[in-house]
Structure 1
Amino acid sequence: MRNISKVGFIGLGDQGGPMAEAIAEHGYKLHVWARRPASLAAVAAVPHAEHDTVASLAASVELIGLCLRDDTDIWNLLDDQRLLANTAPGTIIVNHGTGDPTEAERIGAHVADAGAVYLDAPVSGGSPGARARTLTTFVGGPADTFRAAHPVFETFSDTVRLMGPVGSGQLTKLFNNALTITNMKNAEDILAMAAQVGLDLPALIEVIGTSSGGSAALHALGTDITPSLAEHLHPLMRKDMQHFAHAVRRRGACPDEVLARGEAGASGLVEAARLLTY
């Protein structure tokens, strides 16, 4: 198994920034590029090399982690910004964002044609999990490449699992997100009803959180999801539910009921977050 020492990272947002920081903390030589110079503050506390171009970063590392908004951003880096054209043969390219499993297969084939290797490795746990280094990483791709990248993933994860070939990581993440978002709808409905009958909502969330009715969705509503964060999250949740529905339909199952509940959960997120600030 090859030993990776030089890691590139692009996408230094609320989740990607702490992931990159964790990689450097564990002794890897971290190389970064950012569209906005302000984003580089995320890794200011750890040793790193900054690059002016994606191409320069690509030529300097053995593994490149991408934590971006959607698959279109991946394509832009690979081709328009010449990431693939500047990677050495065998370079591992990892997508930690959430996207479409079929698109992951297309990207994987495109990367392979260029002589590199692709892993789709979306993560669960959000920015709190990234800061705590407790993310779950769902991986799709070749087993030998997974083994090589595994120590890097462990720097920011407490669970790392190979789920199958390229696309399997995304499919697993979409099922995870569908369950989270539909559970969010349950929590939103219960909290709204509890407010109507006069229950103390913070106290309710705390006591249910240690009881059989507890869930990650309920905990997140009671802690991390502020109204401003909810404004950011709910369109991402809608996007993930559409990816989920598309992936399920392509594989011969019917997502309609789960999709409707998930979209309702996304729609109600801002109102639920506001309810808990009163």
Structure 2
Amino acid sequence: MTVLLPRVGWIGLGDQGAPMARAVAEAGYPLHVWARRRSSLDVLAGVPYQLHDTVADLGADSDIVGLCLGDDPDVREVATTGGLLESLEPGAVLVNHGTGLPAFAAELAELAMPYRVEVVDAPVSGGHVGAVEKRLTVLAGGDPEVVAFVRPVFATFATTVAHLGGHGAGQIGKLLNNTLLMANQQNIAELLDVAGRLGLDLPALLDAIRAGTGSSVALQSLGRAITPDNAEHLSRLQLIDMDIYRKVVAPFVSGLDPLTERAVAGAQALPRLARLTFPPPTAAG
């Protein structure tokens, strides 16, 4: 007996969203796409998909819709003004893969309630490289049964799916993850300052630490996913994440707590780290 897979709508074909959408199509899910710019569709060359002229047309043909947009206002515009929620059938699931405020995740669920549409906040960690290699981590918030329903779709581009709680829990998890990453960047910056004063060969030291117990994703990314060409852009995005994080943790801490301060410094240090870091040597074939 043939099993019909859910129809998956996708909005957001950027650096991370495009390889995620490709993975969904490659896994055999019927992929439905809407894009503001037709040039964005080039990234889907070679995989089957159906293009829709409007957001509402996409919603009407989708059981699950994944949003991989820049920020909460973009998500709100597509979901409401764009007509997505209104076009979805009762029981459909709207998944927000963007990073944003936990409070907005709860608000989006409330906006969807009159339409009987389910909502999951499911930001991802792993960057462009993780998306291309289909090894992202999904941090999900929402109803357990709904998360279980969309989990097979997540598995097309992720190796880890963590359901952390109700609406907004996925966003909190992502913000905590990003904060730790940036704090580790500051650890690296301080370590390189000390190592430089001690006269060590920095590229050789970094190669050794990458292979040793002091390694981290922050260090592994330097010189690989993070380069002098993209570090300024990534630093700005990280500082935006820290602004969101501060809004979330403000009621629970007084002033600028040490973790937040270290993470902000790490985000600011990223361009300098990229300039100091060299790609590790590749193994001989």
Alignment TM class, shorter chain as reference: over 0.9
Partner of 1:225: 226
Which letter maps to 1:93? L
Q: Is the 8 A contact 1:209 1:219 kept in 2?
A: yes
How far is 1:277 from its partner? 5.8
Query: Offset at 1:183?
Result: 0.5
| C-alpha deviation, 1:110, in angstroms | 0.8
- The TM-score normalised by the length of structure 2 is 0.92
- RMSD of Structure 2 on Structure 1 (CA): 1.8
Give, as a single letter, the amino acid of the residue that structure 1 aligns with 2:131. Answer: A
Q: Distance in 2 between matches of 1:261 and 1:113?
A: 42
The 3-state SS of whatever aligns with 2:138 is: strand
Per-residue CA deviations over 1:150-173 (Å, capped at 9, x if unaligned) read 100000000011111010000011
Unpaired runs of 5+ in structure 1? none
1:245, CA displacement in angstroms? 1.8
Q: Which residue of 2 aligns with 1:162?
A: 163
Q: How does 1:122-141 map to 2 (within 5 A)?
A: 122-141=123-142
CA deviations over 1:68-100 (Å, ceiling 9, x no partner): 111111001011211111111111000111111
Which runs of no fewer than 5 residues in structure 2 stay unpaired?
280-285
CA 1:144 to 1:202, structure 2 compared with 1: closer, same or farther past 3 Å? same
Give how far 1:210 is off. Answer: 1.8
Distance 2:77 2:206 in 1: 42
Alpha-carbon distance between aligned partners in 1 of 2:229 and 2:147, rounded to the nearest angstrom: 36
Q: CA deviation at 1:35?
A: 1.4
Task: Give matches, 1:128-277, under 5 Å.
Answer: 128-250=129-251, 252-254=252-254, 256-276=257-277
C-alpha distance after superposition, 1:162-205 (max 9, x if no partner): 11101000001111111001111111222244345443333222
Contact 2:203–2:278 (8 Å) recurs in 1 = no
2 CA distance for matches of 1:45 and 1:201? Answer: 42
Code of the residue aligned with 2:156 in structure 1: it is T
**Residue 32 of structure 1, CA deviation:** 0.8
**Aligned length in residues:** 276
Q: Secondary structure at the match of 1:227?
A: coil
Q: Matches of 2:33 and 2:203 in 1, distance apart?
A: 40
Distance (whole Å) between structure 1 residues aligned to residue 183 and residue 147 of structure 2:
31
- My pick for the range that moved more, 188-197 or 230-239, is 188-197
- Give the share of equivalent positions with the same residue, in percent: 44
Q: Secondary structure at the match of 1:228?
A: coil
Q: Distance in 1 between matches of 2:246 and 2:82?
A: 31
Secondary structure at 2:221 match in 1: helix
Once the 2 structures are TM-superposed, how far is the Cα of residue 51 of structure 1 from its aligned partner?
1.2
Pairing of 1:46-61 with structure 2 (within 5 A)? 46-61=47-62
